[in-house]
Chain A
Amino acid sequence: MTPPRSPGFDTLSLHAGQQPDPTTGARATPIFQTAAYVFRDSDHAAALFNMERAGHVYSRISNPTTAVLEERIAALDGGVGAIATASGQAALHLAIATLAGAGSHVLASRALYGGSHNLLDYTLRRFGIDTSFVDPRDLSAWRTGIRPNTRVLFAETLGNPGLDVLDIAGVAEIAHAAGLPLMLDSTFTTPYLLRPFDFGADLVCHSATKFLGGHGVAIGGLLVDSGAFDWERSGKFPELTEPYAGFHGMDFQEESTVAAFLLRARREGLRDFGACMAPFTAFQLLQGIETLSLRMDRHIANTRAIVGFLCEHKAVASVNYPELPTHPDHQLAKSMLPKGCGAVFTFEIQGGRAAGRKFIETLRLFSHLANVGDAKSLVIHPASTTHFRLDDTALRAAGIGPGTIRLSIGLEDAADLIDDLAQALRASQKL
C-alpha cells in the first residue's frame, strides 16, 4: 500500500475551505454581502445562538465568504481555524484581548512593526496590559523576562525592519516551560516560506494586506490557532478553562479540546470589539492567496537579484538580508527559511539621512509609501515614517539607522527595478 499523500500547498491555496456553490454552481467564492442570515425556525435560531448548531447568524461574528478565507489560511498554516479581522492590528489586538486583561503582562520582541509597538507600548498600557520588550535573539532575555502575570510571548518571524530571524523553537520551548503560548506575526514570511506551528509556535497573526493579498488593495488581518496549546494544563487562562458568564456559562476548553481559543476570541472579542473583516475584503484576499506560491517565488527571485546588485554597489554601505553570510541570523535562516527570507529588506546608503532622502525621491518605479508586500515595489525610510515614534536609542535597538532604506521588492522585471535603483543611487551620491 502506498501511503496516501495529503493535498499540497498550491492545491490548498486554491481549494481549502471552498467548494463550488451548491445553489448556483459558482466556481469562484461568492461574495456573500449580507449582514444577517434567516433562521429556519425559532429552535434553529436558539440552537445557533447557543452553539448547538454551527452556522451564520450575523456577519460581525461570521460570514460565508470570510469563513472560506479563514479556513484557507488555517489549512496553509497547519492550524485548526482562524478569525479574519479588519486589519492585522485588529488580529493582534483580538489575540491579546482574548488572553490578557488588566494586570496582565506581554513579553514581546523589541524588533516589531511600529504599529504593533504602538499598541503594546502605549495603547494597551492604558487598559492595564503591560508589555516589556526583549532582544529577539537573546533567549536568556526571553527566559528571564517572563513574569507571574505574563500571558503571551510575541514576536515577528522576521523582525521589522532588521529581519531578525526568530529562533521559534528556542523561544517556544521557553514559553511552554512557563505554561505560556508563543504568538508570532508571520506577515513577512507567509505560510509559503515558513509555517511557525511546525517549529512550536501556538498562535499566528498576519497582516493579510501584505503578501497574502499581494495586490495592496485590501486591509485585513488573520489570527490562526495551532490548536496545540493545552490551556487547561497551563492553568493561567481561566478565560478559556472556566465558565464564561458572557456566553451561556460556556467553558470553551471543555467545549472543544483544540478550538477553545478561537471559540472565545470569536464569541467575545469579535462579537464585542467588532473588528470583523468585510466579505468583499475576504474575497479580494482570497484572489491573492490563490497565487501565493507563484508570487512568493517571484518576489524572492527578484529580491535575490536586487540584493546581489546592491551588495556590489559602491554607494551602498551595507545590505541587511538573512541570506547574506554577513547577517547575524544567516545560519538560522538557512535552516528555517530554505525557500527564501522574504522580499522586504533594508540597506544602508552611503551619505546618511540626506542621501537617503535624495535616493527615495529620485526613484521612479519604486513607490514611496507605508506598506510592504505589494505586487509593486515599494520603498520607505523607517526613521521618518513607520518608526517615527521611537527615539534614537530605541531606533538603534530595533536595528534602524538614520540612513536605513527599506525596500519591498515586487513582481516587476528585475532588470527594470535594478535600473531604477542604479539611477537613484547615482543621484544620491551627487549631493
Chain B
Amino acid sequence: MALQLEIQGHAAWAYTGGKPFDARLPVVVFLHGAEHDHSVWALQSRYLAHHGRSVLAVDLPGHGRSAGPPLASIEALADWVVALLDAAGISSATVVGHSMGSLIALECAARHPQRVSRLALVGTAFPMRVADELLTATRDDEPSAQAMVNLWSHSALAQYPGNPGPGFWVAGVNRRLMQRQQPGVMHADFAACNAYTNGLAACRRITAPVLLVLGKRDVMTPPRATKDMVAALPNARVVEIEGAGHAIMAEKPDELLEALRGFIP
C-alpha cells in the first residue's frame, strides 16, 4: 500500500506500511540513506503502521519509484520533506532518518521546528565526510563504490533475524538495492552528505526530543563521530546497539524497533 503525491513538480512515492495512510493518526516519516529506497525500513514502518501510527517510508527524489533528479543538497532534501508533509496534509510528524536520511531529518527539524515533533537519527554522524577515494568512485566507478559501501555497512557475515527475514543474505540485499538505483544517484547522495556543513548549527536549534540509534560496530558513521552532535543537541537520548554496523535496519531490526518504540509515543 502506498501514497503517491506530486511534490515540486515530480511524482513522489511512499510506502505506507501495509495500511492506508491516515493523516489523522500520529505520523512517522522514514527517510532512507544514500543509494537506498523505502524498503530498508520495511519491518519498522510496517510494525508502526499496525500499531496506531500512520507511516510514510518515502522514496527520495530520483530513488526507487519517486521521479525527478536526485536533489543536490541536504538542505534541498529537507525542504522536500516539508513539501511532502504539505502535500500529504500532515501538520507535524516524527521523522526517522538513516545515514543521509538522518542529516535530512536533522536539517528539516532545524528549519521547520513546528513540523517535526520528534527526531530519530539512525546510523548518523556529523560531519558525514566521505573519503575522497569513495566520493570519486561514486562518480566514476559505481560498482566499486557500491562494493566499498556494502563492505563497510555490515559488521559480520551473519545476522539474526536479518531483513526482510531469515534466509536473506543481508549484504546481498543491500548490494542489489544499490544496483537498482539509477546511475548518478549514488554520487549525488554522497556528495550531498559530504558537502553538508550545517549539522552542529542545526543541532543547536532543535527543540524536539531526539533519539540517536548507533551501531557499536559501525565503521561508516562510528558512534564517536556523534560526540559533537550529542553535545549540541539539548534534548537527545543515545542508544548504542551491540553487534550492529551501519546497516542497522538490516542487521538488528528488532533492537532498532525497540529503540523506536520506546521513543515514539
Contacts and interface: CB of A to CB of B under 8 A. Distances in A.
A187 interface: no
Contacts of B176: 80, 226-228, 258
B169 A16 contact: yes
B42 interface: yes
Nearest to B47: A52
B43 A52 contact: yes
From A230, A249, A255, residue with most partner B Cβ within 10 Å: A255
Contact of A54 (B43, B131, B144, B157): B43
Nearest to A82: B167
B253 interface: yes
Contacts of B25: none
Given A54-B163, A55-B165, A83-B167, A228 B179 contact: yes
Name A's interface SS.
loop
B164 A259 contact: yes
A70 B168 CA distance: 7
Interface in A331-356: none
Contact of B167 (A12, A50, A243, A262): A262
Nearest to A50: B50
Interface stretch (A3-11, A130-138, A140-148, A158-166): A3-11
B173 A80 contact: yes
Contacts of B42: 51, 255-256
B126 interface: no
A430 interface: no
B167 A258 contact: no
Given A1-B131, A4-B152, A70 B177 contact: no
Interface residues of A, number: 57
B64 interface: yes
Contacts of B167: 62, 66-67, 70-71, 74, 81-84, 262, 266
A262 B168 contact: yes
Contacts of B37: 257
B168 A71 contact: yes
Contacts of B15: 254-255
A15 interface: yes
A369 interface: no
A389 B162 CA distance: 44
B172 A249 contact: no
Contacts of A18: 157-158
Contacts of B180: 228, 230, 257-258
A285 B133 CA distance: 41
A130 B18 CA distance: 34
A17 B150 CA distance: 16
Nearest to A63: B166
B2 A254 contact: yes
Interface in A312-365: none
Contacts of A12: 157
Given A50-B46, A53-B257, A70-B167, A81 B158 contact: no
Interface string A213-234: 0000000000000111010000
Contacts of A4: 147-148, 151-152
Contacts of B156: 19
A53 B43 contact: yes
B240 to A, nearest CB: 18
A248 interface: yes
B171 interface: yes
Contact of A70 (B50, B163, B166, B179): B166
Nearest to A232: B65
A214 to B, nearest CB: 22
Contacts of A82: 167, 169
Contacts of B166: 54-56, 62-64, 67, 70-71
Contacts of B168: 70-71, 74, 80-81, 259, 262
Contact of A17 (B1, B50, B169, B179): B169
Contacts of A243: 1
Interface in A258-290: 258-259, 262-263, 266
A305 interface: no
B172 A81 contact: yes
A176 to B, nearest CB: 14
B164 A51 contact: yes
A168 to B, nearest CB: 18
A70 B257 CA distance: 25
A79 interface: yes
B46 A52 contact: yes
A19 B217 CA distance: 16
Interface of A: 1, 3-7, 11-12, 15-19, 46-47, 50-56, 62-64, 66-68, 70-71, 74-75, 78-84, 226-228, 230, 243, 248-251, 254-259, 262-263, 266
Given A5-B151, A11-B157, A258-B177, 11 more contacts: A6-B150, A6-B151, A15-B158, A51-B164, A51-B165, A62-B166, A80-B168, A251-B2, A254-B2, A254-B15, A262-B167
The 7 closest A-B pairs by CB, nearest first: A81-B168, A67-B166, A52-B47, A227-B176, A74-B169, A70-B167, A54-B161
24 contacts: A3-B148, A4-B148, A15-B157, A18-B157, A50-B50, A51-B164, A52-B43, A53-B253, A53-B254, A54-B161, A55-B165, A64-B166, A67-B162, A74-B167, A75-B171, A80-B169, A80-B176, A227-B173, A228-B180, A255-B39, A255-B164, A256-B164, A257-B64, A257-B177
